[in-house]
Structure formats: structure tokens, C-alpha cells
Amino acid sequence: MPKEYIVNVSVATVWTSPGPKRVLDEPSLKNPVNIEKWLKGMTTSERSSLCDDNLIQTQVLYGERVVVINTSGEWAEVVIPSQPSSKNKEGYPGWIPSCQLQQIDTEMWNKDKTAVVTSKITHLLNEKGTKITDLSYLTELPVQGKDDTHIHVLSPHGTAYLPWEDADVHPVSLGRPKENGENIIKIGKGFVGLPYLWGGLSAFGYDCSGFSYSMHKAAGYQIPRDAGDQAKQGQEIPFDLLMPGDLLFFAYEEGKGKLHHVGIYYGQGKMLHSPHTGKNIEILTLDGTVYEKELCNARRYWHDTEEPA
């Protein structure tokens, strides 16, 4: 029977296959990981090979649940229920180093409230105030209690502490409050300048669909992980009725070929997106660009439930 595990490093990279990796990938394979060292150690060409050579699939944040369905040596084959995918109806599939996973007692892990990291990067602290690990934006952990300065959370390292200013608390039964498209844009603008990372799903780097997935998650919406799946769900929107927060999809051959990119409509003919390796998250005017010619589809997942903040 499949067993439920959680990620016990700040960000676990999900690989396409198990086994030996490039020497330069070593910082991403350990426990603890050193994501910043891994990223800084790669040239643009070496970053591109993550995609070109089909090395990685996605990422999983600290405390996120995965289901282990198989093992091979020091690797675990997993599916990720929180990342919907047409690749597997149970969740996004791939391989994670076993040292980055920890089996859990599901009943003990389930709490009434959850704390969600709202800063780009924060520190998870022990009772002495010493850093346990860095945590990315949108990391979620069960709440055990609180005091004047910290939220007490259950973590793979036991009871730990998050600064109040770096996290929100909400009931698990209600999920994150649903916000409108304007707020999706407001959230996303905070990441302008962050370098693109193929497979990236953390504040250390996002790919195009990981960025749209995560900004929707932050606004209270569960959408598919990959652009191809995102383009098939949600509400189809005519291009003359676009509103901020809608997803824009792009395909080769002037929109008639294979879909290859997704961005978030910013308004005023602009797009907020994570372009490709070697580029940073940006706000781009579509007029006169290749994207204008390749635009093929638009979808809306958000609802007009909140006023712009």
C-alpha cells in the first residue's frame, strides 16, 4: 500500500528518473539542500539542460505531502497530490532522493489550522531561536499554537516557530481566501526580477507554469501544474474580454503549433510572466513581440470575490 510522506528539506527537486546526476547538481540532492549554491553554480547553458535534457519535472516545498509508490536504491518514486497533472490522476509524478522525505503519522499531522509563508523566504526556527532551515513562499505547516511573536508549527523537525510577520494562519477546512485577478497580479508583481528556473516552484525560481500555478495558489485557487493542462481547464475567455489575472497561452507556428508558454494577463496589453532560462520574471508589453503572434488561448480560474487590495 502506498505510504504518505512529507518533504523534509526547504525545496525538493523532482527528477524525471532516479540514479546519478551531474556533479553540479549535488547541492540539490542532499539533506539539507543548498538551493542557492546549486543555482549559483550553474551556467545559463547548464540551467537550460534541465529542460533540454528532460532532467527535472517540478519541485515540492518543505512539509508538502507526497505519496511514495516505488523505490530504487536511494530514490523514491512519488506522486504529488497537490499538483494536478494529466501525467497521473493521483498527482504529479517523478523521483526524489529518499533522504529528502520523511514518513508521517497522518492523524498526528492533520491540524485544524495551517500557517502559510507569505514572505519570499523566511527562517524556520527552533525553540532557542536558531534557524532550522529556510522556507519558501507558500510553504504550509500545521499550527500547534502561538505566542506574541511566533506561530508554533508542526514540522518534519518537530515543533518549530515562524515569525508572525512572515506567515498567515487560516482554517484548513476553508483554505486560503479566494481573491480576484487584480490581486493575483499584485502578488505576482512581488517576484519581478526573479530568475527563471525550469521546473521551479519556489521563491528561489519559477518556470512559466509554476509561476502561474503558484500565484493562483496564493490567491486561493487550485489549478493544474503544467501549461498544457492549464490551457484545457478554467473558463475560456475571448481576447477582447481579457481581465488582469487571466492566463494567456502561446504556441509555435503563430499560435497553431505546439503550446510552449503561459503568462498572466497584466492589463493594458501587458503580460506578467517567467519567460525562459536566462531571463527574469517581467512585465512585458505584448504589442510587437513574438508573443503577440503566438497567442492562442486564454483561460480564467479566478472569481470576482474580493476587491483589489
Active site residues: 208, 261, 273
CB 50 within 8 A of CB 94: no
Question: How far apart, in whole angstroms, are the C-alpha atoms of residue 289 and residue 14?
Answer: 33
DSSP characters over 73-97? TTEEEEEETTS-BTTBTTSEEEEEE
Cβ neighbours of residue 105 under 8 Å, at least 6 residues apart? none
Which one-letter amino acid corresponds to residue 8? Answer: N
Per DSSP, the three-state class of 166 is: helix
Where would I find the H helices in the chain?
26-29, 35-40, 44-52, 106-109, 181-189, 208-218, 227-230, 252-255, 290-294
Cβ neighbours of residue 146 under 8 Å, at least 6 residues apart? 152, 164, 169
Report residue 253: phi and psi, to 5°.
55, 45
